[in-house]
Structure 1
Amino acid sequence: MRDGKEDREATNRPGGEHHEQMDWDAPPPYEVYVESQGNNMSAQVMDDGRFSMQITGIEQGFTLPPIPAATPESLWKNRPQSAPRSYPELNIVIQVVGSRGDVQPFVALGQELKAAGHRVRLATHDMFASFILESGLEFFPIGGDPAELMAYMVKNPSILPTLETIRAGDIAKKRKMIAQMLDGFWKSCIANDPSTGVPFVAEAIIANPPSFAHFHCAQALAIPVHLMFTMPWSRTRAFPHPLANIQVTKADPSTTNFLSYGLVDTLTWQGLGDVVNHWRRHTLNLESVPPMVGPYLADALEIPFTYCWSPWLVPKPRDWPSYIDVCGFFFRNAPLYTPTPEIDRFLKSGSKPVYIGFGSIVMEEPEKMTQIIVEAIRTCGVRAIVSRGWSKLGSGISDEKILFIDDCPHEWLFKHVAAVVHHGGAGTTACGLANGCPTTIVPFFGDQPFWGNMVAAAAAGPRPIDHKLLSSDALAKAISFCLLPETLYAARKLSFGMKSDSGVKEAVQSFHRNLPINNMTCELLPKKAATWVWSKRKQTVKLSHRAAAALVECGHIDVKDLALIKTKPIYIDVRRWDPFTATTSAAVNSIGNMGSALSDVVQTPMREYRKAQTLSRSESGNSNTANAVGKATSASLGKFGSALIKTGIDLPLAFADGFRDVPRLYGQKVRDHGPISDWKTGGVVGGKALAYGMYDGYAGLFKDPYKGAKKEGAAGFAKGVATGVAGFMTKNANAIFGFVAYPALGLYRSFEGRESTEAQTMILMAQKEYGSYLAHTESVDKEEVAELVETFEDRRLFQI
C-alpha cells in the first residue's frame, strides 16, 4: 500500500501527469513588433536577446510616479540605520536558475544565513549538487540542464526562436524543461531532503527572478518571498532595462528608461505565462494570473528586492522604494586552492598574464574563437591564461606564451593576472573589479552588455565588444586599452571602494528587515518560527511546532483548535483603468477559468481512473478505483462551482474598480481603501467605498471647478466642471458597486482560505511530518513544559 508521503511525492513529480495537456510544441505567443499608438511606443526584438525600443512621444497627461527626495543613502550607499531586530530561526529555501556564476553568489548568501542561525536549502540544477553540499548547505535538485539552457540562448539569443530551432524541436524541449523546474521548485518547499530524508517545510523563499516559481510557491504557502539578483529588474528612470536597447527618441530619457521595464516584462511573460498558469492550476491549485497582471506582479505585490552589485559601480537609483536595496556583490569565502604545477610554473615564468575566458557560454564555433584569441595575444605580445570553459577552447593549440586551463577559482586566479577578458557575467565582472583588474567584456546575451557598459562608464575597461563583431584586431586593441596606466588606476579605485562593501552581510540584514517578524514568531519561544495559530473564544496565540506539541501533549490545548498560520498571504488583484475594459477583461478571464474548470470535471476523474487501475493491477486489487474517481469528481465539481461563484463576484468587482480608477486618467489621485483578505476587511473596504465615494463625488462638483478656476481661470473652471461631473458619476458608481463587490470578495477569500485543496493537503501533511520529526529530535523537559504553560496562560489572560 502507498502511504500519504508517497502520494504527495507522486502527485508533485516533475513532468508528471499534471502537464500532459500542454502543447509543448506550440511556440510561445511572442509578438515580433509591439506598438502602442497612444504613447508612440514600439519594441522590436534584436539578435542579442535584448529589445530595440523607440518611444517617440508621450501622450499628454501621462505621468510617472514622483521621485523621492534625494538623500546620501539613496544616492550612494544603502546601509540600514536602525538597530537589528530579533528574528526567529527559519527554514529558508533559495531558488536559483542559471549557470555556476548565477549559483555561486547564492552559496555565499546561504552560508551567511546559516551562520545567522537559519536552516538553508539551495534548490537548483542537479549538476551543482557537490558544489553546494561541499559548501555546507542543503541541496535540492530541480532538474533542468544549465548547459542546454546556455546553448539554447547562444543559439537563439533573441527572445524569438530561429526557424532552425523550431524545426529541431528545441522549443518543446525548453518548455518541458521549464515545467520540470517549476515542479522541482515547488517540491523544494515541502519535500524531504533527498539525501538524508529529513523533513523540510519552507518558511521563507529567496530567489533570483528567472526561477519564476517564487511568487507562486509563496502564495500557496502564504510565506514571505524576497528576490535577489545580479542585474536591474525594477523600474527606474536612472537607466533602461538591461535587456532593452533604447534608440534615440524625442521622449525624455528618464521616461524612456522607466517604460522599458514594462515592455520587457510584458514580452517575457508572453513567452512563459501559459506554462506558469498551467502549473499554478494543476499543481498549486491557484487561479491563473491574468495576462495584464503577470508582468507586473513584483511591483503590484511590493516584493522586497536586494541587488547584489556594488553601489560604487552602480548606485541605488533614488526612485526605488525602501524595500529595494543595493547591498554589494556577494562573494563567498575564498576556497582553499593550490595551483597545479602547470599553472604555478607558468605564472612564475614571466610577466603577469592576461586572463581570457567565457565560462559557461556554449559556442557553436569554438575553433574560430580560439583562433581569434591566439592571434590577438600574439599581436599584443602578452602572455595569457585562457580558460577552456564549456566550449572547450584551445583544442590543438601549442604556444609557450599561452596556457589553456580547466576550472580554476577566479578568487585566486584574478590576484595573479594583469587584466581580464570575459563574457560579462555579473559574478566574473565582480571578481575582476574586486581584484583591481582592468576588464574587457565580450557579451553574448542578456545582461552582459549592461555590465560591459557599466565597466566602460567607470573607465575600468573599453566599451564592450559584441561576440559577433569580435575580431583578433578588436580584441588586441581592447587588451592594449586594459594595460594603459589610467585604466589600471580606474580599476584599482573601484576595487578600493568595493572593499568597504559587505554584500552578503548587508543582504541578510535586508532580508531580515523585510520579514513580517510579528506574524512569524512563536509567542512562547521567540527564537522559533510560528507554524500554528491556536484560536478559541476570540483568543489567538501563535505557536511553533515545539510549543504546540508540548501544550497538546500535556493536555493544555486541543489539536482541533490549531490551524496552519499564514505569515504572509498573497492576493493578486487586477489593476483597472476604466469600467468598460475592466469588465471585458474580467469576462474573458472568467470564461477561461470556467472553461478550464469544466475541462477538469471530465479529465481529472479519467486521469485518476487510469492511475487507480494501474495501481490496482500492480497491487492485485481494484477496490480503491471507485473511491479515487469519486474524490476526483467531487474535487473538480467543487472547482467548477468555485469558478462560477468567482465569476459572479469578478464582474461587479471589475465595475467597482473600473469606476474607481477613472479619475487616474485625468490626473487625479484615487483613494486606496486597503487590502481585502477576509470578510472583515471586505466589509471595511465596502463601507469606505460607499462613504468616501459618495462624499468625494458630491464634493468634486464644487471643489474641481474652484481649483480649476484658481489655477487656469475660465478655462480651468470649465475643465473643473467637466472633471467634477465625471467624478460625480464614477465615484458614486464605485460607491454603489463597491458596497456589494468588496464584501463579497472578502467573504469569498475567507471561504477560499478554508478550502482543502490538493496542494493545501500536501502542505499540511508536510508540516505534520516535520513536526513529528522535531518532536523526536528536540526533547522538552518538564520544567520547560511548565514554563510554556505559564507563558501561554499569560498570553490568554492578556487578551481577555
Structure 2
Amino acid sequence: MRASLVVLGSRGDVQPFIALGTTLKARGHTVTLATHGDFESLVREAGLDFIELPGSPRDFLAHPALAEALQQGASLFRAARKVPRPTAEHIQNLAAEVAKATAGADLVVNSILSRISFESDGSTPWGSVTWWPLNPTAQWPAMIAPQANLGRPYNRLTHRMAGLLDWITIRNFRKDANLPQLPFGAPYRSLGKDVPLLCPVTRSLFTEPSDWPGLSHITGYWFWDREWTPPRELVDFMDFGTPPVTLSFGSIWPVHPPAETLEKVLAVVRSHGRRLVLVGGGPATVPEDVFRVDDVHYPWLLPRSSAVIHHGGCNTTGEALRAGRPQVVVPTFADSPFWAAKVHALGVAAKPIPFQKFTAERLDESLGAALTDESIRQRAHDVGESVRAEQGTEKAAEILEEWVERWRTRGSVGATA
C-alpha cells in the first residue's frame, strides 16, 4: 500500500505523523510524508519519502503580531485576525501541491489543518487526524468553549458554535484555493461518519462517547522513538546532583522574550534548589546551571527531569505524560489552554499559568507544587505507566488498514465525503 500523509503546522503536528509513518512502513507499506521544508531532515531521518509543501510554521508563529495578540488573550481567532493571511496565490499553490502529493496513493491521511487544502476525487480512501476530540457530543463541551459543567444542552450548543466558527474561519481559504465549500456550520461533518477520524491522545483522558459516529477513534498518542544519542555534556549535566527542571515552549517560543523569560524562570528554579535544561529557545548564552539544547529526544530527557514546564501543545503534553513527571503548563492559545486544564484536572500538573499572567510569583507557586506535592508526583507516575502501555500508532495503523480493505471490498465507501 502506498500511503500519503499530509500535515501542516509545527513540529508538534509533524512528529506524530512521522511516528505513524514509521509504523506503517514497518508493517510493509510505502510511506510519503508531505509537509513544510522545515522538517525535511526529520522525515528523512525516519526513513520516509518526503514532499515539500509551501510555507513554514514560522510565517505565523514568529510573526510579531502574534505576540501582540496573545498579550490580549488566548483567542485563536484574534490571533488569526492580527497575523496577515496568506495570499490567494499561496493558497492556490498549496492546494495544488497537496493534490500532487496525494495523487496515485492507496491511502491519504491528513491533519485537520491540511484537510482544508484537500479535496477527494472519490478514487482514494482517506481519513483525517485531529489533535483534540472534535466530533460533537453531549458528554463534554467543544475544545474552544469554557469547560463548564452545565449539562448536555450546553455541551451540544458549544459544538454547534464551534462548527460555525470553523466554517467562518476556513470559507475564504477554500474559496481562494478554488475548492468547494465544506458544509455550512459543520465543515467536518463527514469526519468520523463517512471517513475515519483519528484522535491521537491518551485514553486516560478520553474514551469515545456513545453519541460519536462509528469511525471516530481515540487511539493513544503517536510517539516516534527515534534513534538518538545524547551529547556527552548533556548526560553529564543530567547525572550531576538533583535532577534539573526542563523548560520547553516548543513552537511558541517566538512569543516569549528570550532573555527576560530565562531570567524569570531561572530565578524561580534556583529558589527551589534546581538547575535548568532549556529546550529550543532562550538566549544563546546561558549560565553554568543551565544547559541549552535545540534538538533533544523527549523520551530520553523528560524522565530524567524533576518537573517539566511547557506550553501545553497536544504532543508535548503527551510526551510529559508519557515521562511520568509532574508538569507546569503555561498555555498560550488554540488548544493549549484546553490541555493545560485537562492535565491539571487529571492530577498530574500544578495550576496552569496563562501566558498573559506568566509571572515569577505564579511560577513559584506552581513549580513548588510540582516539585513537592507527593499526590501530583504519584499521579504523574501512574498515568505515565498507562500512557506508555498504549500502542497508539499500531492502533491507528490497524484502523487505516481495515478502512482501505473495506474500501476495496465494498467499493468507494464515503468516496465523496
Matched, 1:228 2:117: no
Of residues 110, 126, 145, the one that matches 1:207 is: 110
Taking the aligned partners of 2:321 and 2:143, their CA distance within structure 1 comes to 20
Taking the aligned partners of 2:194 and 2:138, their CA distance within structure 1 comes to 18
CA spacing shift, 1:114–1:266, aligned 2, 3 Å:
same
**One-letter amino acid of the structure 2 residue matched with residue 98 of structure 1:** G
Quote how far apart the aligned CAs of 1:174 are: 6.3
Quote how far apart the aligned CAs of 1:180 are: 3.4
- Residue 379 of structure 2 corresponds to 490
Quote how far apart the aligned CAs of 1:294 are: 5.7
Quote how far apart the aligned CAs of 1:421 are: 0.6
Q: Decide whether the 8 Å contact of 1:242 with 1:450 is kept in 2.
A: yes
Taking the aligned partners of 2:88 and 2:246, their CA distance within structure 1 comes to 36
Taking the aligned partners of 1:134 and 1:184, their CA distance within structure 2 comes to 23
Give TM-score scaled by structure 1 length: 0.48
The CA deviation string for residues 271-315 of structure 1, in whole angstroms up to 9 with x for no partner, is: 22122134245xxxxxx3266266243359533111111112323
The CA deviation string for residues 457-478 of structure 1, in whole angstroms up to 9 with x for no partner, is: 1111112210110111111211
Give TM-score scaled by structure 2 length: 0.90
**One-letter amino acid of the structure 2 residue matched with residue 121 of structure 1:** T
- Residue 475 of structure 1 corresponds to 363
Taking the aligned partners of 1:189 and 1:455, their CA distance within structure 2 comes to 36
Taking the aligned partners of 1:160 and 1:325, their CA distance within structure 2 comes to 27
Q: Secondary structure at the match of 1:141?
A: strand
Taking the aligned partners of 2:107 and 2:315, their CA distance within structure 1 comes to 25
Of residues 491, 497, 505, the one that matches 2:394 is: 505
Taking the aligned partners of 1:291 and 1:316, their CA distance within structure 2 comes to 24
Gaps of 5+ in 1: 1-89, 191-200, 282-287, 522-541, 543-565, 573-800
- Residue 342 of structure 1 corresponds to 233
- Residue 127 of structure 1 corresponds to 38
Larger Rg, first or second structure (1 or 2)? 1
CA spacing shift, 1:101–1:159, aligned 2, 3 Å:
closer
Taking the aligned partners of 1:496 and 1:163, their CA distance within structure 2 comes to 38
Taking the aligned partners of 2:223 and 2:182, their CA distance within structure 1 comes to 38
Q: Decide whether the 8 Å contact of 1:237 with 1:257 is kept in 2.
A: yes
Match runs of 1:148-547 below 5 Å: 148-152=59-63, 153-157=66-70, 158-161=75-78, 165=82, 170-173=83-86, 177-190=90-103, 201-213=104-116, 216-218=118-120, 220-245=121-146, 252-281=150-179, 288-289=180-181, 292=184, 295-298=187-190, 302-337=194-229, 339-361=230-252, 362-363=254-255, 365-387=257-279, 389=280, 392-398=281-287, 400-483=288-371, 484-515=373-404, 517=405, 519-520=407-408
- Residue 412 of structure 2 corresponds to 567
The CA deviation string for residues 643-697 of structure 1, in whole angstroms up to 9 with x for no partner, is: xxxxxxxxxxxxxxxxxxxxxxxxxxxxxxxxxxxxxxxxxxxxxxxxxxxxxxx
- Residue 58 of structure 2 corresponds to 147
Quote how far apart the aligned CAs of 1:142 are: 0.9
**One-letter amino acid of the structure 1 residue matched with residue 102 of structure 2:** C
CA spacing shift, 1:160–1:486, aligned 2, 3 Å:
closer
CA spacing shift, 1:402–1:316, aligned 2, 3 Å:
same
- Residue 103 of structure 1 corresponds to 14
CA spacing shift, 1:247–1:93, aligned 2, 3 Å:
same
Quote how far apart the aligned CAs of 1:177 are: 4.4
Greater RCO, CA 8 A, separation 6+: 2
Q: Secondary structure at the match of 2:328?
A: strand
Match runs of 1:12-27 below 5 Å: none
Q: Decide whether the 8 Å contact of 1:328 with 1:503 is kept in 2.
A: yes
Quote how far apart the aligned CAs of 1:325 are: 1.2
Q: Decide whether the 8 Å contact of 1:461 with 1:487 is kept in 2.
A: yes
Q: Secondary structure at the match of 2:389?
A: coil
CA spacing shift, 1:311–1:291, aligned 2, 3 Å:
closer
CA spacing shift, 1:136–1:162, aligned 2, 3 Å:
closer
Q: Decide whether the 8 Å contact of 1:149 with 1:174 is kept in 2.
A: no
Quote how far apart the aligned CAs of 1:178 are: 4.1
Taking the aligned partners of 1:318 and 1:569, their CA distance within structure 2 comes to 22
CA spacing shift, 1:212–1:490, aligned 2, 3 Å:
same
Taking the aligned partners of 1:149 and 1:451, their CA distance within structure 2 comes to 21
CA spacing shift, 1:381–1:473, aligned 2, 3 Å:
farther
**One-letter amino acid of the structure 1 residue matched with residue 212 of structure 2:** W
Gaps of 5+ in 2: none
The CA deviation string for residues 578-617 of structure 1, in whole angstroms up to 9 with x for no partner, is: xxxxxxxxxxxxxxxxxxxxxxxxxxxxxxxxxxxxxxxx
Q: Decide whether the 8 Å contact of 2:129 with 2:200 is kept in 1.
A: yes
Q: Decide whether the 8 Å contact of 2:197 with 2:216 is kept in 1.
A: yes
Q: Decide whether the 8 Å contact of 1:313 with 1:458 is kept in 2.
A: yes
Taking the aligned partners of 2:260 and 2:105, their CA distance within structure 1 comes to 47
Give the number of the structure whose residues are more often helix, by fraction. Answer: 1
Taking the aligned partners of 2:21 and 2:182, their CA distance within structure 1 comes to 34
Q: Secondary structure at the match of 2:250?
A: coil
Taking the aligned partners of 2:80 and 2:339, their CA distance within structure 1 comes to 30
CA spacing shift, 1:296–1:309, aligned 2, 3 Å:
closer
Match runs of 1:643-722 below 5 Å: none
Q: Decide whether the 8 Å contact of 1:91 with 1:203 is kept in 2.
A: yes
Aligned length: 409
Taking the aligned partners of 1:423 and 1:176, their CA distance within structure 2 comes to 33
Q: Decide whether the 8 Å contact of 1:100 with 1:360 is kept in 2.
A: yes
* Identical residues among aligned pairs (%): 26
CA spacing shift, 1:353–1:317, aligned 2, 3 Å:
same
**One-letter amino acid of the structure 2 residue matched with residue 381 of structure 1:** G
Taking the aligned partners of 1:511 and 1:301, their CA distance within structure 2 comes to 14
